[in-house]
Every structure is written in C-alpha cells, then in structure tokens.
Structure 1
Amino acid sequence: MNGVDDTDGARGVGRPGAAGRAVIVTGGSRGLGRETTLRLAAQGCDLAVCGRDAASLEAVAEEVRARHGRTLHTERLDVLDESALAAFVRESAARLGRVHGLVTVAGGARGTDLRDTEPSDWDLTCRLNVTHPAIALREAADHLAGTGGSAVLVSSISGWKPAPPAQYAAAKAAQIHMASSLARELGPRGVRVNCVSPGSMLIEGKGWARLRDEDPRAYRAFEKEFPGGRLVDPRDVAEVIAFLLSDRARGVNGANIPVDGGQNAPSAYGY
C-alpha cells in the first residue's frame, strides 16, 4: 500500500511494540473505515470494529483473518444508539484487555438546504458527528490513559472550508474544535486527541464514484479542484490515521490534519 512494507509496523516502525496493540474503530467496515481497519491490522493491531451492516462487518473480519492473521471483535450497531455505543466500547476494552487507540470514522448528515431542513435533521447530524465521538472517547479515556494512547476523530474538509449542507459543515467544524478542547482536557492524563479532515474521497459505490459513472463530464470538472488531478484515495487517509496513533506522532496533539490533496471547493456543486 503506497509503497509501505506492511511488516514494518509489526517490527515497530509505526510504534515500538506495534504488534498486539489494541484499537477500537467505529464505522470500521466500509469505505475509509475499512481501509483504516486493514491498515491497522497490517501493523499487527488487535481490533474491535462496529458498523451498521452485518455483511460488511463479516467481510472485513474475514479479510483481516485471511490477509493479516488477526481476529476482530465486531458488533452491529448504529452509533446514534448512544447506550449501545457506550456498551460496545466497554465490551471491546474488556475483550481486548487494553486500548491503545480509538478511531471514530462513523458520520454523515441528514437534510438538504436550509429551507428544506428540519430541526431533527440538525440534531441527528450533530449526534452523528459530535455526540458519537464524544461518547466513544468518554468510555475509552480511562483505558487510553492507562496505555498512553490516543484518539483520532475523522472530520471533513467541509469542517473548515465552506460547503453545503450547512448542518454537516457545522457539525464537522464542531468536531474539529471538540478534538482540540479534549486534547487539552485529556493531555495531562497522557492521552492525545487529533482530527483528520479528508477531502472528497473516491470510494466505489459512494457518491463521487456514482458521479464518475453517471456524469463523466461533471466528474472531470470536479477533478480540476484537485491540484494533482484526482480525488483522495481513502488508503492515504488511513495512513495518516495510523501515523497519528503511533509514537512517531507523540508531538501532535489537538491538531486538525487535512488529507485533501490540496482540494479547493469541497463539493462538485459549489460553495
């Protein structure tokens, strides 16, 4: 992957003793979450992964077993169910025996433009992107403090570059600020908290891949928003997440790291 020898992490290049470290990933079975799970497994990490789709969870678990010889604790749940999410983190910590890292990938939005968006859409979007990572980190914090671990919250380019829909942009901006605040709160306990803000990622079956297939002209126009002429590869984002979880990033705390290829407009549909 991207010229990196997957055995390096197991030898400790990612972090001394990387093999056998334990990481919890929300939304870890599809898209960026899947790539993050696979990257961490390649480094020899033990993992607990949740997601909404049982088939996707089983597929990523089987891939991790086949490619990396690791086993996963998986659980089907919706992170909007706050009690189930909290229980998942607690059970994962118990099963793994320790927690060195937390990655909150699950997110999303509901609603369109301002006139057609209900208060419930704002509430749900905030719960997905702000409340969910806050609860997961609350439950993991004591375990992370015990291992000198860290958390990575996955935000978005929309959190710091204006883009519709506003409820998603506002929630992602709040997530970035929350990570910085929690880094100050948890730092004295030895826990780092950072954000990664991906640009528009090309993921098969998702929106930009559909645009590429259904409207090639619009997709080619959108590619011009990227200096390198291509959308973001989720594997590249997963590499940055893995780095932030490692001791090589021990000086990085409370940061928001854009992984957007220098993207200009966050959307093919304008600001």
Structure 2
Amino acid sequence: MKNSGGPLEGAVIAVAGAAGPAGQAALLRLADAGATVVGADADAERLASAVDAARYAHGGATVTGDTVDLLDLDATRAWAEKTERDFGRVDGLVHLVGGWRGSSSFATTELGDWEVLERLLIRTVQHTSLAFHDGLLRSDRGRYLLVSAAGASSPTAGNAAYAAAKAAAEAWTLALADSFRKAGGETGPGAGAAILVVKALVHDAMRAERPNAKFAGFTDVTDLADAVAGAWDRPAEEVNGQRLWLTPHP
C-alpha cells in the first residue's frame, strides 16, 4: 500500500520500542504524516497490535513491524539493513525504548537497577545509533531522535541510576550528532541527531488508572509524537546536537 500524502510522504522511519504507549502514538502520527513506518520491539504480540492499530487508523499507510532484540548488536544491524533494503532508504530512527527503576533514597540505591537501566537506556541507544548511522547519512533528511528526561541534567537522590543512564544516552546521542556534523563538512550536516526532553510521559491508560492525579509537567504521548514528526520540518543543522525541551527547562 502507498501512503496517501502528508509532509513525510516518501520518508521511511524506523521506531525502536514501537509497542509501548509512546511507540504506538509515534506509529499513528508518522503514518498520518505520510511516512512508511517500520516498528521494532521485543514483544511480538504487543508490536503486532500496535502495527495493526496504525494501519487501520490510516488505510493508505504502510506500517510494518519486526521483532528485534535491540540488546543484540548484530540483530539491530540486520534490522537496519533489512529496512533500507526493503524500502530503498531510511530517513529516521526514533528511539523510544524506556524503563525506570528508582529508590527511596540515595543510600538505598540498588546497583542491580543500574544493570537493568544500562541495558535498556544505554545499550539500545548504542546499538540503534551504530546500526542506522550510515543509512541516515545516505538519506537527504536523516534524523535520529532520542527521548530523554529532565532528570538527566537535574538528578535526584532516589533517581541516581535512572538519571545517570539517561545522561549517558544523551552524551552518546550528542556524539552521534558530532559525527553527522563532521560528515557534512562545510555544507553543514545532512542528517541530524536530537534529544527530546520530557519530565515524564502520560497516556490515557495512566489517567484512567489515576483519575485524580494531576500529572503536572508530564508530556502526553500524542504531544511527543507531534514533536517527533516535527523534527523533519526543520533543517538538519537546526536540529543536530540539540536538546529540544517539551517541558519547562529546570
């Protein structure tokens, strides 16, 4: 099926962590903008449901799903190569793999939490960025987008492991941005790597579970998806190496 038009008509965008609430919202929004969307997740059943929902919402959209272990670099590279081979190009990688572990105080931090978060929040960023780097450079509008948290730059005592992992993922993404900058030479980067910063995310199921909660400062996953799609509205040099704040800067 061919997409029915939109600002991202002709673009091929991969979404890592596509089965979660943020991933589902991104699939819907990118498909609505006309992109061919290729989702990946380790949970095959949830991924299939997310892909089907995006397809049904946008009858002319091409939305596919691949079950990928992003903790396996070879598997991640194979996914990137398959995406470019199947669709002829790759114009974006949206990194939505998440996870949270915290403690009641700094002294009670469990280092086991760090081991989990290092894999989810750092290792997957390393693998997707390395796997998609060359393909994004071959595109005339390549984007790598990481979703991060305000806590990475203002960590609290009980969030040491989480904030440190997010900060490391941001640093890795900024190094990717520098690679894009250097590859562009005097003409400027042709691809851009950027960080979308939120306080935390909220979605309808969370509101239903906690109807009296305010979720102050939280970013709705649909607003995040809008910001993701909007990253292609700006030239690469305006996006590359930037932290794009979707919550007030602390």
For the aligned pair, the TM-score class normalised by the smaller chain equals 0.7 to 0.9
* Equivalent AA in structure 2 for residue 235 of structure 1: T
Q: Give the Å deviation of 1:187.
A: 1.7
Matches within 5 A, 1:246-257: 246-248=233-235, 250-257=237-244
Cα gap change, 1:11 to 1:125, in 2 (>3 Å): closer
Please state how far the C-alpha of 1:118 moved relative to its aligned partner: 4.3
Stretches of structure 1 lacking an aligned partner (at least 5 in a row)? 1-6, 13-17, 265-271
**Alpha-carbon distance in structure 2 between the residues aligned to 1:162 and 1:120:** 18
Would you say 1:40 and 2:26 are equivalent positions?
no
Corresponding letter in the other structure for 2:5 = A
Write the deviation string for residues 212-244 of structure 1: whole angstroms up to 9, x where unpaired.
24xx3xx34x63xx4xxxx32111111111111
Equivalents in 2 of 1:170, 1:125: separation in Å? Answer: 9
| Whole-angstrom distance in 1 between the partners of 2:20 and 2:139 | 28
Q: Note if contact 1:101-1:151 (Cα within 8 Å) is conserved in structure 2.
A: yes
1:1-56, Cα deviation, whole Å (9 max, x unpaired): xxxxxx9x9354xxxxx212101110112211111111111111111111233232
The answer as to 2:123 corresponding to 1:128 is: no
1:55 corresponding residue in structure 2: 45
* Residue 77 (structure 2) pairs with residue 86 (structure 1): yes
Q: Is the 8 A contact 1:100 1:150 kept in 2?
A: yes
Q: What is the aligned length?
A: 238
Structure 1 segment 39-188 matched on structure 2, within 5 A: 39-68=29-58, 69-110=60-101, 112=103, 114-148=106-140, 149-163=142-156, 164-188=158-182
**CA-to-aligned-CA distance 1:126-149 (integer Å, 9 cap, x gap):** 221122112111111111111131
Q: So what's the TM-score if we normalise by structure 2?
A: 0.83
Residue 258 of structure 1 aligns with which residue?
245
Structure 2 stretches of 5 or more lacking a match? 184-189
In the TM superposition, what is the alpha-carbon distance from 1:77 to its structure 2 partner? 3.4
Change (3 A) 1:247 1:10: farther
Q: Residues 184, 248 of structure 1: CA spacing in aligned structure 2 closer, same or farther, 3 A cutoff?
A: closer
Q: Within 2, Cα distance between the matches of 1:42 and 1:245?
A: 14
SS class of match (2:30):
helix
Distance 1:209 1:200, change over 3 A: farther
